[in-house]
Amino acid sequence: MSLALRLNAPISVEDFRTLNRCLDDAIASAVTEHERSNRSILAAEAARDDEDLGFLAHEIRNLVGTASVAFEVLRTGNVGVGGSTGGVLQRSLSALRELINKSLAEVRLRQDVRDRTQFDIAEFVAELAPAAALEAGARGLSLHVEAGSAGLHVEADRSILAATVSNLLQNAFKFTRPATTVTLRVNATFDRVLLEIEDECGGLPDGNHDDLFRPFQQGGTDRTGLGLGLAISRWGAEANSGRLSVRNVPDHGCIFTVDLPRLTVIALSGSEP
């Protein structure tokens, strides 16, 4: 239009109609693309909300399950409330309360807040072991723990890492063969700390083992779960700057490994005032 005015060129009625038609088409295309983009964003947000809700439900179920097992043992009267079983019940209820508080805070803030601290991995494993051993015993299984040497430190959100390892143990208890042993083992290299959970499921079937970590995937005949445990565990490892992998041991079982950065002596001393 401006070019026509500068050149003093005549503009016919048909030219105006063509221009208007082009403008209408352009506006319609822009609006359509805008709506499509908005739908994609909303779909992504809905998927993220579903994943968050799945994480919350899965963790609540695990903690309530452990607390229920501990309560049933206490109800027999064969053990005292002040013993290790009572401690498992107390820690499960405390973790449940912490999980709910964190979830409420996340709803308010709409962002993921991670409380990273530095801690000794052997002490961390020792804290998880009693609840895991109780769960294994309730299923007729054995738990073998190799906590590693003292002085192996990581920097992570302790509660998220605990959920990650607990989910892997729950998965191992679910799929290992009856009357077998699940092993929780700590290994380390110069710059990495490895948390390994080994079961005796008989080995993994052929195929892409990475599919195991997809949400709502269930690889066995036991359908009591939601198929979220391994997906949550991978998210938990990655949230702590680590990674989660699985290694098949044919005719025996499989080993899930949480691979985390190891804090060096320099990093630890540098964190002190």
pLDDT, the chain, mean: 78
Strand spans (E) along 60-218: 116-120, 142-146, 153-157, 181-188, 192-198
Quickly state the pLDDT bin for 40 (edges 50, 70, 90): low
Q: Of 121-125, 239-243, 253-257, give the lowest mean pLDDT range.
A: 239-243
pLDDT greater at residue 18 or residue 263: 263
Quickly state the pLDDT bin for 65 (edges 50, 70, 90): confident
pLDDT of residue 84: 82
Q: What are 71-103's pLDDT values in tens digits?
A: 888 888 777 777 888 888 888 887 787 667 656
167 touches 233 (CB < 8 A): yes
CATH superfamily of domain region 116-270:
Histidine kinase-like ATPase, C-terminal domain (3.30.565.10)
Give the number of other CB atoms < 10 A from CB of residue 248: 15
For residue 197, pLDDT beyond 90: yes
Domain segments of the chain as ranges: 51-109, 116-270
pLDDT of residue 246: 92
pLDDT greater at residue 269 or residue 120: 120
- The tokens of 5 are what? 């005015």
The residue-averaged pLDDT of 51-61 equals 71
The residue-averaged pLDDT of 52-71 equals 78
For residue 263, pLDDT beyond 60: yes
For residue 216, pLDDT beyond 50: no
Among the listed residues 209, 132, 120, 122, the one whose alpha carbon sits nearest the alpha carbon of residue 156: 120
pLDDT of residue 172: 93
